[in-house]
Amino acid sequence: MKTFLLRRFLAIVPLILAVTFITQVLLIASPGDYFSTLSESPSMTPERLEFLRAKYHLDTENVFIRYWYWLSGVLTGDFGYSFKYQTSVWSLIGDRILNTLLLAVGALLISWGLAIPLGILSAVKKDSIVDRLAGGLSFVGLSIPSVFFSLLMVLFAAKTGLFPVGGLHDQVYWDFMTPWQKFVDVIWHLFLPATVLGTIGMAQYMRQMRAEMIETLSQDYIRTAKAKGLSLRTVLFRHALGNAINPLITLFGFSFAYLLSGAFITEFVFAWPGMGRLTVDALIIKDEPLVMASIVMVTVMLVAGNLLADILLAAVDPRIRLE
């Protein structure tokens, strides 16, 4: 296990270098920079613009020079300051990453909490009305666009008043709430965006779970367990589930990384202050220090998600040894 973890951690460094270098190339290849928009201001003189570009090393299009300026700062622990917000990029990311983690964990709980029992039930009741209903639910989840589903949930919240239409917490009474009230308020705001992301993920996992469980239930050792007189519950959860769930655990790393880095549309519609909105806004205005730091964080999250999936896979299936 130690050797495996060490190899994974060592692989992070060249991966981050490659991804950030490509990001730097794309930033330089795209037209303009952050200070191009400031040239429209009457108070901004050409001399001042040149000074700012030189100060932040944007006065050259040599990718190696630009990248070295950024990398040399990173090696000393300085990831730079956001052009737009005029504060450390890590302070911005630190505020947003926890919100995105909260949304991702909530979505995973919903998707896995529904996908596994529904997938098992569909496999056990194969070709029944239950299986068809679950298949229809899966089809809807796979077909509906996330932006459309998000807008439907916002409309539902606005019409019924059962849920807030957006935000992380109540903006008026937050400071007067007890810790328990704050917790409930955050969960209340979290429910709809997590449901949108969780439902879309649930559809994929449920179909995978159903297929794997049907295949597992047809194995000889399952028939032997049934012949011994074991209960259906014992056969399903003690003998079949461990093998059938392995592919889902493999998908876990990719799904977790996707939720962390790819929930921009949902965050935007629900005004959820997460990493997705922050990163895309930074890309639009070409806030380079913030873009580069965000890419580093997304890459680390991708590696962490895959690492967690491997560890869970080894824990569930004793046949797998990470060494």
- Retrieve residue 103's tokens: 């949304």
Return the SS3 of 88: strand
What is the C-alpha to C-alpha distance for residues 106 and 14, in angstroms, rounded to an integer? 32
- Retrieve residue 263's tokens: 């929930």
pLDDT at 84: 83
Rounded to the nearest angstrom, the gap between the alpha carbon of residue 101 and the centroid of all alpha carbons in its chain is 7
pLDDT at 238: 76
What is the C-alpha to C-alpha distance for residues 33 and 47, in angstroms, rounded to an integer? 16
pLDDT at 14: 87
- Retrieve residue 181's tokens: 């009230």
pLDDT at 317: 62
- Retrieve residue 314's tokens: 């080894």
pLDDT at 214: 84
Instruction: Supply the DSSP symbol for 237.
Output: I
| H helix runs in the chain, sequence order | 2-29, 46-55, 63-75, 89-124, 129-143, 146-160, 179-217, 220-227, 232-234, 241-244, 246-261, 264-269, 275-285, 288-316
* Domains located in the chain, CATH noted: 2-75 (no CATH), 89-316 (1.10.3720.10)
What is the C-alpha to C-alpha distance for residues 40 and 229, in angstroms, rounded to an integer? 80
pLDDT at 316: 63
pLDDT at 310: 72
Distances in whole angstroms, Cα of residue 28 to Cα of each of 23, 31, 37: 9, 7, 16
pLDDT at 257: 63
Whether the CA torsion 91, 93, 96, 97 is positive or negative: it is: negative
What is the C-alpha to C-alpha distance for residues 55 and 296, in angstroms, rounded to an integer? 23
Q: What is the pLDDT along the chain (323 residues), one digit of tens a residue?
A: 677 677 777 778 888 889 889 988 888 888 877 777 777 777 777 777 788 788 877 777 888 888 898 888 888 888 888 888 888 888 888 878 888 888 888 888 888 888 888 888 888 888 788 888 888 888 887 788 778 888 888 888 888 888 888 788 887 778 888 888 888 888 998 898 888 888 877 887 888 888 888 888 787 777 787 787 777 777 777 777 777 777 777 777 667 666 665 577 788 888 888 887 788 888 888 888 888 888 888 888 777 777 777 777 666 666 666 55
As a dihedral over the C-alpha atoms of residue 87, residue 90, residue 95, residue 98, rounded to 10 degrees, the angle is: 170
What is the C-alpha to C-alpha distance for residues 200 and 195, in angstroms, rounded to an integer? 8
Nearest CA-CA partner of 32 in 57, 58, 51, 50: 58
